[in-house]
A = this chain, B = another copy of it.
């Protein structure tokens, strides 16, 4: 079960290209923009614990601890790569605040200290353990960045208190948290510190979930927060997508640590249910705003898609963990899908604004279409915002992209696995690896390895890739091209042929029937009316026409043009031959770049022109 070890973001450096630019944006712009909006909204101030009823500062929300915790974690990842006194001082100040306001029991929670102390550990959905989980992740990252363990020690006291309240005294008002996160955080801490009490507490929460009555009277018989069945018996992804994938991530971690085959089988089934039945072509998950949740298989409406940015990140986390258990390129394929699409769409190109929901289609008129009455269906917003009331996504974006180096490699005793492709350097268990590539602009990758002689080198062949060249003899192993490293100094040249890949959805996906999506390399494309005119429904694309891919600095990636047609008619209904078709050039932009040039209709799924 422990065959593959992760290679941490600490062991890798993204040194150029697409992802170096994105990481620089996170480091130079996004981290500070999120900080400033969190300051504006009172989230940092809340750590002073000076809110009282009637005071003129904003009342803390019970999830604010976690918003700042994810920001701290993000800052730590940046500090691990480069010193920044301003960031470090701000992190230390928050740690000071936490230390100052931790109570004698070890407990720390802003809302349930200043606003509702009587409800400490009484309301299952009040996110105390979720907040603790994120604080743990921040403390681990900060320790990794600085070697200082004050934050960890503070939280250790809190964890001891949680162990006592939940597992010994059993005095809490619930047995498992309404929003998962603590479980994966505890296992992460266990891996850092080796103290089994952390793993035991994680397993306590995992084993209790779905084995109690709690949650069963909540929405959908407990499936909203995955409390409907014991976790080992869960086979279909249900409920709130972020909660679900944080849970599944913890289950994968636990399976890896304990060798629990039942847990692992559940993880495998859950991943399949998502990736084969419930995932948008962009990697988005959450077909409904209602419960921010999975729905039934193949139910993937485009315009009302919820697809929370955090859910894409959470699915990437789950997939990234599964690749450490089973050799199968489908896991890293999903990570790649999120990196370039589902998760990346959550961030504006200028690095300052965020989508909470990421639809695959925008029809602006729908937002005002009830000219007679103003009660249209709930639709995702059409422009990114700098901060939300529920602003979980912005600091999730920063921590995710600040640490993506950790998704590049994994290793076993005799193998090095290459999962993602970025201009980078890495130390993989003593082997020095240099990866040179313009990916995702083209598919050429040069890998130079030093000190890996005799090891198996497994390089993922991306799922989108229809043909590739490999400069060494290789065999295919579950989606990976495998070759033995023949020398201490070894250079491998790979070329994944990039060409337009048209995708059709499963016939049961009604929203996509008769439509295609365009992928070019790892990037999924979309059409915006700002390029292609209104209405987008009148466009068809000649998929057999000549596709031209050209680098566009605004998007930082290729933009693709294809010939197509725009339909026009004078009649509401007429035989199809009476519709006029005007040849047009159709411009596809990367999906992650939509809504960066003002409000516009947008669609990922377009109609192919009828064959001649």
| Given contact pairs A290-B373, A507-B567, A514 touches B514 in the complex (Cβ within 8 A) | yes
Q: Which stretch of A88-96, A174-182, A496-504, A584-592 is in the interface?
A: A496-504
| Given contact pairs A510-B537, A535-B507, A223 touches B372 in the complex (Cβ within 8 A) | yes
Give every chain B residue within 8 A of A291 (Cβ-Cβ). Answer: 370, 372-373, 375
B572 touches A373 (CB 8 A): no
Distance of A66 from chain B, by nearest CB (Å): 22
Give every chain B residue within 8 A of A375 (Cβ-Cβ). Answer: 290-291
* Complex alpha-carbon distance, A573 and B238, angstroms: 21
Interface size band for A: 35 or more
Give every chain B residue within 8 A of A224 (Cβ-Cβ). Answer: 372-373
A239 touches B299 (CB 8 A): no
A277 touches B572 (CB 8 A): yes
Give every chain B residue within 8 A of A535 (Cβ-Cβ). Answer: 298, 507-508, 510
Give every chain B residue within 8 A of A510 (Cβ-Cβ). Answer: 363, 535, 537
Interface string of A272-309 (1 = CB under 8 A from B): 00011101010000011011011110110000000000
A371 touches B575 (CB 8 A): no
B537 touches A503 (CB 8 A): no
* Complex alpha-carbon distance, A223 and B374, angstroms: 12
Copies in the complex: 2
* Complex alpha-carbon distance, A276 and B569, angstroms: 11
Give every chain B residue within 8 A of A114 (Cβ-Cβ). Answer: none
* Complex alpha-carbon distance, A611 and B610, angstroms: 7
- A506 is contacted by which of B502, B514, B571, B610 (Cβ under 8 Å)? B571
Give every chain B residue within 8 A of A537 (Cβ-Cβ). Answer: 507-510, 513
A514 touches B517 (CB 8 A): no
Max chain B Cβ within 10 angstroms of own Cβ: one of A373, A516, A567: A373
A355-384 residues at the B interface, CB under 8 angstroms = 363, 365-366, 368-377
Q: CB within 8 Å of B: which residues of A?
A: 219-220, 223-224, 238-240, 275-277, 279, 281, 287-288, 290-291, 293-296, 298-299, 363, 365-366, 368-377, 501-510, 513-517, 535, 537-538, 540, 566-569, 571-576, 578-579, 607-608, 610-612
